[in-house]
Amino acid sequence: MTALAIPADLQPVEPAYRSALRVRAAIFWVPVFIASLVVDRNFLAITSFAGLLPALAVAVGLSAIIVAPDRIYRRLGYAMDGRRLRTVRGWLFHTDTVVPFVRVQHIDVTRGPVDKLFGTASLVVHTAGTHNSVVVLPGLSPERAAEIREAIRSEIRADAE
Protein backbone atom coordinates (compact mmCIF):
# COMPACT_ATOMS: atom_id res chain seq x y z
CA MET A 1 0.00 0.00 0.00
CA THR A 2 1.50 3.34 -1.01
CA ALA A 3 1.48 6.26 1.39
CA LEU A 4 -0.83 9.03 0.34
CA ALA A 5 0.73 12.46 0.16
CA ILE A 6 -0.40 15.93 -0.79
CA PRO A 7 -1.19 16.53 -4.48
CA ALA A 8 1.76 17.64 -6.62
CA ASP A 9 0.28 21.09 -7.24
CA LEU A 10 0.48 21.96 -3.53
CA GLN A 11 3.47 23.33 -1.63
CA PRO A 12 4.60 21.50 1.51
CA VAL A 13 5.06 23.29 4.83
CA GLU A 14 8.42 23.67 6.59
CA PRO A 15 10.21 20.40 7.50
CA ALA A 16 10.80 21.77 11.02
CA TYR A 17 7.04 21.46 11.56
CA ARG A 18 7.54 17.70 12.12
CA SER A 19 9.79 18.44 15.09
CA ALA A 20 7.28 20.92 16.47
CA LEU A 21 4.57 18.24 16.23
CA ARG A 22 6.81 15.76 18.03
CA VAL A 23 7.48 18.17 20.89
CA ARG A 24 3.75 18.95 21.24
CA ALA A 25 2.98 15.23 21.33
CA ALA A 26 5.68 14.62 23.94
CA ILE A 27 4.33 17.45 26.09
CA PHE A 28 1.01 15.59 26.13
CA TRP A 29 2.22 11.97 26.39
CA VAL A 30 4.96 12.26 29.03
CA PRO A 31 2.48 13.33 31.76
CA VAL A 32 0.07 10.60 30.59
CA PHE A 33 2.85 8.03 31.00
CA ILE A 34 3.72 9.34 34.47
CA ALA A 35 0.05 9.19 35.47
CA SER A 36 -0.16 5.61 34.19
CA LEU A 37 2.82 4.69 36.37
CA VAL A 38 1.15 6.25 39.43
CA VAL A 39 -2.14 4.47 38.76
CA ASP A 40 -0.34 1.18 38.10
CA ARG A 41 1.71 1.37 41.28
CA ASN A 42 -1.15 2.50 43.54
CA PHE A 43 -4.12 0.58 42.16
CA LEU A 44 -3.03 -2.18 39.80
CA ALA A 45 0.16 -3.48 41.45
CA ILE A 46 -1.59 -6.36 43.20
CA THR A 47 -3.75 -7.33 40.22
CA SER A 48 -3.00 -9.38 37.15
CA PHE A 49 -3.05 -6.12 35.16
CA ALA A 50 0.14 -4.78 36.80
CA GLY A 51 2.38 -3.11 34.21
CA LEU A 52 -0.23 -3.21 31.45
CA LEU A 53 -1.30 0.44 31.69
CA PRO A 54 2.23 1.91 31.47
CA ALA A 55 3.10 -0.46 28.59
CA LEU A 56 -0.01 0.68 26.73
CA ALA A 57 0.78 4.35 27.42
CA VAL A 58 4.34 3.87 26.10
CA ALA A 59 3.15 2.09 22.94
CA VAL A 60 0.49 4.68 22.08
CA GLY A 61 2.68 7.61 23.14
CA LEU A 62 5.68 6.51 21.08
CA SER A 63 3.43 6.02 18.08
CA ALA A 64 2.01 9.52 18.57
CA ILE A 65 5.48 11.02 18.96
CA ILE A 66 7.36 9.10 16.24
CA VAL A 67 4.89 7.97 13.57
CA ALA A 68 2.04 10.50 13.59
CA PRO A 69 4.08 13.70 12.95
CA ASP A 70 5.54 12.28 9.73
CA ARG A 71 2.10 11.29 8.49
CA ILE A 72 0.61 14.67 9.40
CA TYR A 73 3.50 16.52 7.71
CA ARG A 74 3.29 14.50 4.48
CA ARG A 75 -0.40 15.27 4.15
CA LEU A 76 -0.30 19.02 4.83
CA GLY A 77 0.08 21.42 1.92
CA TYR A 78 -1.20 24.65 0.45
CA ALA A 79 -1.54 26.54 -2.81
CA MET A 80 -2.36 30.14 -3.51
CA ASP A 81 -3.31 31.92 -6.69
CA GLY A 82 -4.53 35.48 -7.19
CA ARG A 83 -8.04 34.78 -5.90
CA ARG A 84 -7.95 31.98 -3.34
CA LEU A 85 -5.97 29.97 -0.80
CA ARG A 86 -6.25 26.18 -0.76
CA THR A 87 -5.20 24.05 2.19
CA VAL A 88 -5.10 20.26 2.24
CA ARG A 89 -4.53 18.28 5.41
CA GLY A 90 -5.28 15.07 7.18
CA TRP A 91 -4.27 11.43 7.11
CA LEU A 92 -7.13 10.07 9.16
CA PHE A 93 -9.70 12.73 8.31
CA HIS A 94 -8.88 14.43 4.99
CA THR A 95 -9.83 18.11 4.55
CA ASP A 96 -9.43 20.13 1.37
CA THR A 97 -10.41 23.76 1.99
CA VAL A 98 -10.55 26.58 -0.55
CA VAL A 99 -10.83 30.13 0.82
CA PRO A 100 -11.82 32.79 -1.75
CA PHE A 101 -10.12 36.05 -0.83
CA VAL A 102 -13.40 37.97 -1.18
CA ARG A 103 -14.69 36.10 1.92
CA VAL A 104 -11.67 36.94 4.11
CA GLN A 105 -12.46 39.14 7.12
CA HIS A 106 -9.01 39.28 8.71
CA ILE A 107 -5.73 37.36 8.81
CA ASP A 108 -3.42 36.54 11.71
CA VAL A 109 0.07 35.07 11.92
CA THR A 110 0.51 33.25 15.22
CA ARG A 111 3.57 31.75 16.91
CA GLY A 112 3.60 29.89 20.20
CA PRO A 113 6.66 28.86 22.22
CA VAL A 114 7.10 25.59 20.30
CA ASP A 115 6.73 27.44 16.98
CA LYS A 116 9.40 29.92 18.03
CA LEU A 117 11.70 27.08 19.04
CA PHE A 118 11.49 25.49 15.59
CA GLY A 119 11.06 28.62 13.46
CA THR A 120 7.49 27.97 12.34
CA ALA A 121 4.28 29.98 12.37
CA SER A 122 0.59 29.50 11.59
CA LEU A 123 -1.48 31.56 9.21
CA VAL A 124 -5.01 32.00 10.55
CA VAL A 125 -7.59 33.18 8.02
CA HIS A 126 -10.97 34.34 9.36
CA THR A 127 -13.77 34.34 6.81
CA ALA A 128 -17.36 35.45 6.61
CA GLY A 129 -19.88 32.79 7.53
CA THR A 130 -20.08 30.22 10.28
CA HIS A 131 -19.00 26.88 8.76
CA ASN A 132 -15.20 26.70 8.45
CA SER A 133 -15.00 30.39 9.28
CA VAL A 134 -11.47 29.94 10.65
CA VAL A 135 -8.89 28.24 8.45
CA VAL A 136 -5.50 27.52 10.00
CA LEU A 137 -2.39 26.73 7.96
CA PRO A 138 0.34 25.64 10.39
CA GLY A 139 3.99 24.91 9.75
CA LEU A 140 4.94 27.90 7.62
CA SER A 141 8.11 29.89 8.10
CA PRO A 142 7.25 33.23 9.74
CA GLU A 143 8.42 35.03 6.60
CA ARG A 144 6.25 32.90 4.31
CA ALA A 145 3.22 33.34 6.58
CA ALA A 146 3.72 37.12 6.48
CA GLU A 147 4.12 37.02 2.66
CA ILE A 148 0.86 35.14 2.25
CA ARG A 149 -0.88 37.50 4.68
CA GLU A 150 0.31 40.53 2.72
CA ALA A 151 -0.63 38.97 -0.62
CA ILE A 152 -4.16 38.32 0.64
CA ARG A 153 -4.38 41.85 2.08
CA SER A 154 -3.24 43.33 -1.25
CA GLU A 155 -5.84 41.33 -3.12
CA ILE A 156 -8.58 42.35 -0.67
CA ARG A 157 -7.62 46.04 -1.06
CA ALA A 158 -7.65 45.72 -4.86
CA ASP A 159 -11.14 44.17 -4.76
CA ALA A 160 -12.40 46.95 -2.47
CA GLU A 161 -11.22 49.72 -4.78
Q: Is residue 6 part of a domain?
A: no
How far is 116 from 111, CA to CA, in rounded Å?
6
Total number of domains in the chain = 2
Do 55 and 107 have their domain in common? Answer: no
3-state secondary structure of 48: coil
Do 83 and 151 have their domain in common? Answer: yes
Q: Is residue 66 part of a domain?
A: yes
- Structure confidence by residue, pLDDT tens digits, 52-110: 999 999 999 999 999 999 999 999 999 999 899 999 999 789 999 999 999 999 999 99
Do 15 and 53 have their domain in common? Answer: yes
Instruction: Decide: pTM greater than 0.75.
Output: yes
Do 54 and 118 have their domain in common? Answer: no
DSSP state string for 66-78: IIHHHHHHHT-EE
Q: How confident is the model at residue 18 (pLDDT cuts 50, 70, 90)?
A: very high
- Structure confidence by residue, pLDDT tens digits, 19-39: 999 999 999 999 999 999 999
Enumerate residues 6+ apart whose C-beta is below 8 A from 42.
Answer: none
| Domain interval for residue 32 | 11-74
- Structure confidence by residue, pLDDT tens digits, 116-130: 999 999 999 999 887
